Structure 1
Amino acid sequence: MIFFQMTRTSKIFKHRTMLPVFVFILLAVPSLGRAQDTAYYFYRGLPYGSQANYDPLNVIINGGYGVLQIPNYTDRQVFEYPYRSWWKNLWEHIGHPVNTIDRFGWKRFLSTEIFPTSLNIEKQQFFPNYFLHTLGAGMHYRATMEWYRHRRFPHPAISSALTMTAYHLLSEMVENRSNTETTVDAIADLYVFDPLGIALFSNESVCRFFSQKLELAEWSNPPAYDFHSRNLENMGQFYVMKYPLTRDKRWKAFSHFGLNAVAGLSRKIDRERSLSLGLGFTVRELTPAQEDQAGSALTARLALRAGAFYDLNNSLMCSVILTGIPESRFRMNVYPGLLKYKGITPGLFLSQEASRGWVAGVKLQYLPLGAAF
């Protein structure tokens, strides 16, 4: 009955064009611009580690182009993308979301994108929606708002919401590309889970729980641009959570997640430093889900992944990742503050790729992009 009622409702609005996505994001935040929100939960202004790299441009680059870390996205020449045509393709899906869902099927949309109804990986498009678009993007909204507030921008919440809009629209364009088949992934992300995450992390109690109880933080890669190949390298948006397992909080359950994820144990070396080890999966490729209905959906093919992480006050200082795919067997990231030379403390990365061999890069703290070679 509920699906029948939704179908009838969709016909009423069938020919109405929806407002731009950023309006929905702004309307989803009940506390935009509240001056009394003065706590810093996710951005602490630390001059070292992953915190030293955090700024709105870093969020847009790592988030907007994060899907390029998946090996079957081979074209990473981001300054040559046909953004205008990609936007037109995306708008065909998100500009009239009710019509798009009508063609895709409401029951299929709700059971694969919105509610966790299946253990079949072909029907688990909802999985990244909860972890990346609600939890991760919500935390990014709050951290970016705190970044703007720390630098005394006049309207930090509005500035953060607009930053999130740019990041999410870019991400959906890069993922969808020239696809003209009916797809609802961007609709679920932009109209449901991204606003939900922003609304949740506008609440002080939610922020306090995730930052203090679960130690949620952003541990993203330092992205770099290769001027020779014109490729964007080392992009990737990642998060960490820890939960104490012992009374002295020396041992903790640990999860590092983004498009790829590992879980394991974290041990405090002293009051400030921790070492974490995890085992999990990496996305080997995104392929069309095996569906016999109209429209398209993507599903992930996975491979093994292992990681070691060293952090200082929950700001990542160094990470080493090993995977079971030849396109990205090894990756090491070193963040500002770990290595110093004549007052300069850059970030560095080194990775091994099947197509290019070894790729290295350096990133200075106050630049949104490093240089790769």
Structure 2
Amino acid sequence: MKLTFRKRVNSLYSFLLFNLLFIVNLFSQTESNYFYHNLQYGSEAQFNPINLILNGSYDIIQLEGKNRDIFNRNYYVGFKNVANNLTSPFHHINKFGWKNFISSEIFPFRFNKTNAQWWPNYQLHLIGGGLTYSKLTEWFSSKGFDYPKSLAITTTMIYHYLNEVVENENTIGTNVDPIADIYIFDIGGIILFSSDKVKKFFSEELNLADWSLQPSFVLNNKNLQNNGQYFSIKWKFPNAERSYLFYYFGMNGLTGISYKLDDEHALSAGVGLRAKKLISVNDKMNKKSVETSWNYGIFYDRNNSLLVSLFLSGLTDNFININIYPGVIKFGKFTPGIWTIVKRNGSLLFGISTIYAPGLGISI
């Protein structure tokens, strides 16, 4: 008896989760905390599964021209098309071409922006996704949940799958991007970051951290604003006491210097490019690249938990973006986060966030 399409998808995901749990438990080692330290200030204080989904799953809506009303989207088309590609990966790779798939999605053989889809795969899905899985495991464990690894894997795969659904939008047909993302880099990130040696390297040598934004719903129109999943790396220069090579990445890539002000605080600055909008490379195969623009960023953190960030960019909708995280401004025991976006036409978005729930904003 033939399985229905929905049963095929459910069976596939159940199979993937079961095998991931087996592999992770086979290779997992100690229960040391490398990425989550239960800090009650900065970006770490706002890390939780809800903010993760709003930042990570809806990362793509930061691009100009994208629909930010997440309550008014056609999720069914995206869900069905992503599932169709994941349940028949070899069929769709054959249509796309194995050479193109391997050289543009898997290995860094091509460096022009129309064929470098592998770049975000390594950054955001392998390294960023691996960090996210590890941090979720530590978060669930610190909150007293049973089976933190199982919950972390489930949450990680849900946010990754929803990310592919949102990116797919209304496309019907071959879309090899989720095949590479989920089967190779997302799962690879979970397995990679199940090793204590890997976590120790990224945590202690590279100071890898989640410096995501403060997702908020705008009261005027219900749009999700000020969301985005971002990460930072600080590599200490040899023989340097306080200076680090700094790299900040997500929907952008900024390179610069980080300087440790004292035992807890650091100031970082970077310059680079950020994604502006999607451009179609091959409509038939749903192959896309991005148009980029200039981007500057300044960051102030405490114990690698981001306290303040300021961005300037060539974007129209996000010309200036300022984020002040909980722990900086205090009203007694209440310490909110505050963010502001200035558009090139002079209009403003302003929001307030907390460590408990997504924030609220208004358009001025």
**How does the TM-score come out when normalised to structure 2?**
0.93
Partners in 2 of 1:98 and 1:185 — Cα distance? 13
Match of 1:41 in 2: 34
Q: Which moved more, 1:125-134 or 1:93-102?
A: 93-102
SS in structure 2 opposite 1:42? Answer: coil
1:103 maps to which of 90, 95, 103: 95
Match of 1:55 in 2: 48
The answer (yes or no) to whether the contact 1:33–1:158 under 8 Å persists in 2 is no
Letter in 2 for 1:358: L
Extract structure 1 runs of 4+ deviating beyond 4 A: 33-36
SS in structure 1 opposite 2:317? Answer: helix
1:244 maps to which of 236, 239, 246: 236
Partners in 2 of 1:26 and 1:118 — Cα distance? 35
Q: CA RMSD in A?
A: 1.8
Segments of structure 2 that go 5 or more residues without pairing to the other structure are 1-7
2:309 maps to which of 298, 315, 319: 319
The answer (yes or no) to whether the contact 2:28–2:195 under 8 Å persists in 1 is no
How far residue 34 of structure 1 moved from its aligned partner, in angstroms, is: 8.2
How far residue 107 of structure 1 moved from its aligned partner, in angstroms, is: 1.3
Match of 2:213 in 1: 221
1:257 maps to which of 239, 249, 252: 249
CA gap 1:176/1:356 in 2 versus in 1, 3 angstroms: farther
Correspondence list, 1:306-345, <5 A: 306-345=296-335
CA gap 1:326/1:284 in 2 versus in 1, 3 angstroms: same
Correspondence list, 1:118-133, <5 A: 118-133=110-125
The answer (yes or no) to whether the contact 2:274–2:294 under 8 Å persists in 1 is yes
2:141 maps to which of 142, 149, 155: 149
Letter in 2 for 1:361: G
CA gap 1:206/1:22 in 2 versus in 1, 3 angstroms: farther
SS in structure 1 opposite 2:25? Answer: coil
Q: Which moved more, 1:350-359 or 1:267-276?
A: 350-359
Write the deviation string for residues 338-362 of structure 1: whole angstroms up to 9, x where unpaired: 1101221001100013478100000
How far residue 22 of structure 1 moved from its aligned partner, in angstroms, is: 5.7
The answer (yes or no) to whether the contact 1:22–1:165 under 8 Å persists in 2 is no
SS in structure 1 opposite 2:114? Answer: helix
2:177 maps to which of 185, 190, 201: 185
Identity rate, percent: 35
Partners in 2 of 1:235 and 1:340 — Cα distance? 23
Correspondence list, 1:13-92, <5 A: 19-21=11-13, 23-28=15-20, 30-32=23-25, 37-73=30-66, 75-92=67-84
Partners in 2 of 1:21 and 1:317 — Cα distance? 37
The answer (yes or no) to whether the contact 1:318–1:335 under 8 Å persists in 2 is yes
Letter in 2 for 1:40: N
Partners in 2 of 1:85 and 1:296 — Cα distance? 14
Partners in 2 of 1:266 and 1:356 — Cα distance? 31
Write the deviation string for residues 63-106 of structure 1: whole angstroms up to 9, x where unpaired: 00111111131x11111222223211222222211111121111
SS in structure 1 opposite 2:198? Answer: helix
Partners in 1 of 2:169 and 2:354 — Cα distance? 31
Segments of structure 1 that go 5 or more residues without pairing to the other structure are 1-16
Counterpart check, 1:300 vs 2:287 = no
CA gap 1:107/1:35 in 2 versus in 1, 3 angstroms: closer
How far residue 33 of structure 1 moved from its aligned partner, in angstroms, is: 8.6
